[in-house]
Structure 1
Amino acid sequence: MRTLVQGGLVIDTAPEVVVRPETDVLIEDGRIVAVGPGLSALGAEVIDARGRIVLPGFVDTHRHVWQAALRGIGTEGDLGYYFDHVMQARGTRYRPSDVAASNLVGALECLDGGITTVQDYSHVQGSVEFAEAAVDALDRSGIRAVYGFGPSPLVGGTVDADAMRHVADLASPRITIAVASTGPAYAPFDVVSADWALAASLGLSVVTHIDRSEVTQTPIALLEKAGLLRPTTLYVHCNNLSDDELRLIADSGASVSIAPAVEARLEMGPAVAVRLKSLGVPLALGIDTVTSAPGDMFSLMRQILALGYNSFTAAEVLQLATIAGAQALNLPDVGSLAVGNQADLILLRTTDLNLAGGLTDPVATVVTSAHPGNVETVLVGGTIVKQNGHLVSTPLESALTDLATSTTHLFA
């Protein structure tokens, strides 16, 4: 199947951010095969991109998608409040059907706002049925995902090996599986070692929340001493780690996912983006949880630009939301419009009032002024999941009905 996205103002993100007016993107069998002006439309379905900005889909590197039904309930307090009122009071009430309802709506929210890839850190597990429900919902949404399977921090312990093997078999062309470990900040080191060994035996990456804690003040140094530093590990937050700890991450080739909106709201420590950049640590952006922050990447990009103290240009912020996220998740063929990449891309209307007059510097305009309502079209692997401003991958009305039913149960 051939699709031609024709005549748009194309913004690509790698190796540098470039702007190409009146440019076409040709897609065959779900991948980008050419980018340039005047490409042949012979035999292709044409998407008219005139008056549109065309750019790679955003990559959200850390999100608890299962919390969509709990939107807004964590804004009144810090991290302790989150554990008490979100994880304990509501998270323990989840059934597989509730995970399915939240994961579908959460993934659709991502797509609606131009997030085409999400790392779903799913720590609401009661059994493999929870994971099956979560992965099925992600698949039905049409999103690309890295699904992280792991225990609730309320329970702790190692990732169950038999369950993890079963979950690993749920992988598909759009859904990658990862081990979501409780990690060295919050668990005894024998638990950490077991999780890392399990991931290695299954050929899976590890994603873990990490910071200094009462368990350990130097979690990264402990991993290094045990020979467990790997480029395929994604560390989340890291606000209170020392510079020496962050340098160890940089030297290992791994990345850090920051969620500045949630980190600030839950008082998780000082903003870390500028320090990561200065120390050469690869970083990317994550929404984390809609219980405490907005669920769109535009809001997060604006926050990084505003709080970056002139350390980040608009182009660098756009890269954090796209190609840097793909690299952090070890996805070599998303995050940019390079030939051969998956055709994950989004179209923004430049005729909307909040983008009007912004084509002199379209990169800055996207980062400072755009919002999910400007996202007109979204493709994942060349398949249209949002068209003419409306989601088309799965029936939205039934998804919202199921979420309402779930919310009623969770707050009963």
Structure 2
Amino acid sequence: MDGTNRRGFLASAAALAAVGPAAAQARGRTLIRNVEVLVGDAAGTEHRGVDVLIDSGKVAAIGKALPAAGGRVVEGRGRILMPGMVCGHRHNWMYLGAGATYADFYAWQLKLMPSATAEDQALASYFGGLAAIHAGVTTIVDQAHAHQTPDRVMAAAEGHLKSGVGGWFNLQLGQASAIRPGQTLSRKEAFTQRQNRAQPRDWDSIAKLKAMFAGTNVAAGCATSPGCYGRDVRAIAAEEIGPARAAGLGLITVHTGVRAPGAPRGAFGHRNCGILDLDDAGLLTREMHFSHAVELDDAEIAAMARTGAKLCTTPFEDADTGPRSPRIAPSFARADLGGVAAGLGVDSTGAHTQDFFEIARNARSTLAADPVSFDALGRWDAAKMLSFTTERGAEAVGLGHDRGKVAPGYRADLVLLASDEPFFPQQGSLAHRVLNYATRAHVDSVWVGGTLRKSGGAMEGADIAALAARLRAAQRRVARDMATISFT
């Protein structure tokens, strides 16, 4: 991105942040006429042959023969209208390495971070937000954990905002390595730099992120540092979770898996996924959002349910990461059965499908991997399973009060599917048809907060082919710079 494009990119993102919801979300009136509404709740509620009125960024009414009252009219042609989906865990920066293969992810990440410029991070985040909308995902939790310097953080946030996708931009604390292209250093030294703790500059960045996102459909959150695993929970409280709460952050994400080897009592990861360690210190609250937690046990589920803590499963990733148990199963089903709000996520945007319908189908298939989840598989219908991407998915990122359903008063985050194409089945419940047959290719139109972002299968206001060409050029340059960094 040259200087002129960079200035224009930043100016447009800044303008979007400054004007607030009234202008940024196009608060006009739209009538979507003659649709089959899949509400998105676990009960599979449907409204057949109805109109949906959007006004001031929200669903204003659902009913027969609603008046347009001078607004725009979209002919639904009997197609399925469903809520925009919610992805609870993804890394948009990974578009800079999409398709790359690596034997050691963390070594690859440590090399990519200094090789990607602020302009690269802005482009990847912008493209990633558009890719989510293109797939019918209107709310994301972007786990920003490869942004080496504050200017890279802010550039990525600007890209997220410019894309129009809603949700959370969660900055991982402590990403402050000093590695540079052309450098050779020992693997031990490189990985020591990865284990950083929260830095004062992190809180400066978060303050700026909050100001940037004020009045928009994006909020600032944070993720605990790579160095927190195995540390005394009192230090984590003082340096990370306590300041995050003081900053008013509504979502604090934690990557967790299994017990940290050798972690003493009172350290995060001493017991299983570390959730009880945090609970003992009073750190388990409704803002806490855990990713993966493949080995989640009954005591941890009970603690999460009691405190309102949340979970996101990334089924393509988590099905491969159960390191010590023959039950290698994502934990969302066990969590949900125990009263924990659980959702689904893509995780690696560079390695896994961006088709969120496929993510839901894959999540269902993983339920057969352990007895408790298998029992859920036998009792859950398509509507329940799909709700992990809609109503339940929104609850799992702390946003269930205003999205995840097609209902009056909820945000007009809507997806119109081309369900009238010849090979799309016309029998069965709407939830059954969507879960089992819909793909990203069926996403015809998408509204985010009432703004039409995709129409007739094409993105609105974005030259995707040109952006893809720029991204591929950035990927090649980043890969070349990464190749100059050696860990011995």
Question: Which band: TM-score by shorter chain?
Answer: over 0.9
Partner of 2:486: none
Pick one of 383, 392, 399 that aligns with 2:451: 383
- Give runs of aligned pairs for residues 10-409 of structure 1, distance below 5 A: 10-14=37-41, 16-74=43-101, 81-85=104-108, 87-150=109-172, 151-152=174-175, 154-158=194-198, 160-172=202-214, 173-182=216-225, 184-185=228-229, 187-193=231-237, 194-204=239-249, 205-212=251-258, 213-214=260-261, 215=263, 216-218=269-271, 219-266=274-321, 270-271=328-329, 272-308=331-367, 309=374, 310-311=377-378, 312-331=380-399, 332-355=401-424, 357-409=425-477
Structure 2 Cα separation of the partners of residues 293 and 248 of structure 1:
31
> 1:345·1:379 contact (CA, 8 Å) conserved in 2?
yes
Counterpart code for 1:285: L
Q: Give, in angstroms, the shift of residue 352 of structure 1.
A: 2.5
Structure 2 Cα separation of the partners of residues 186 and 260 of structure 1:
25
> 1:258·1:273 contact (CA, 8 Å) conserved in 2?
yes
Structure 2 Cα separation of the partners of residues 197 and 139 of structure 1:
27
Counterpart code for 1:26: L
Structure 2 Cα separation of the partners of residues 404 and 304 of structure 1:
30
- CA RMSD in angstroms comes to 2.0
User: How big is each residue's C-alpha offset from its partner over 1:109-144, in whole Å with a ceiling of 9 and x where there is no partner?
Assistant: 111110011110001122221121111111211111
- Count of residue pairs brought into register by the alignment: 406
Q: Give, in angstroms, the shift of residue 318 of structure 1.
A: 1.2
Structure 1 Cα separation of the partners of residues 230 and 403 of structure 2:
32
Q: Structure 1: which 5+ runs fail to align? A: none
User: How big is each residue's C-alpha offset from its partner over 1:209-243, in whole Å with a ceiling of 9 and x where there is no partner?
Assistant: 12222242321122112111111211111112322
Q: Give, in angstroms, the shift of residue 294 of structure 1.
A: 0.9
Q: Give, in angstroms, the shift of residue 182 of structure 1.
A: 2.6
Q: 1:175 to 1:288 in 2, by over 3 A?
A: same
Structure 2 Cα separation of the partners of residues 296 and 69 of structure 1:
19
Counterpart code for 2:144: S
Structure 1 Cα separation of the partners of residues 73 and 464 of structure 2:
25
Three-state SS of the structure 2 residue aligned to 1:61 is strand
The answer to which of 13-22 and 191-200 deviates more is 13-22
Q: 1:145 to 1:399 in 2, by over 3 A?
A: farther
Q: Give, in angstroms, the shift of residue 300 of structure 1.
A: 0.8
Three-state SS of the structure 2 residue aligned to 1:126 is coil
Structure 2 Cα separation of the partners of residues 393 and 252 of structure 1:
43
Counterpart code for 2:107: D
TM-score, normalised with respect to structure 1: 0.93
Three-state SS of the structure 2 residue aligned to 1:147 is strand
> 1:56·1:344 contact (CA, 8 Å) conserved in 2?
yes
Q: Give, in angstroms, the shift of residue 92 of structure 1.
A: 3.8
Between the aligned residues of both structures, percent identity stands at: 25
The answer to which of 188-197 and 47-56 deviates more is 188-197
> 2:88·2:343 contact (CA, 8 Å) conserved in 1?
yes
Q: Which has the larger radius of gyration?
A: 2
> 1:255·1:283 contact (CA, 8 Å) conserved in 2?
yes
Structure 2 Cα separation of the partners of residues 17 and 360 of structure 1:
12
Counterpart code for 1:65: N
Q: Give, in angstroms, the shift of residue 29 of structure 1.
A: 1.4
Three-state SS of the structure 2 residue aligned to 1:169 is helix
Structure 1 Cα separation of the partners of residues 336 and 56 of structure 2:
37
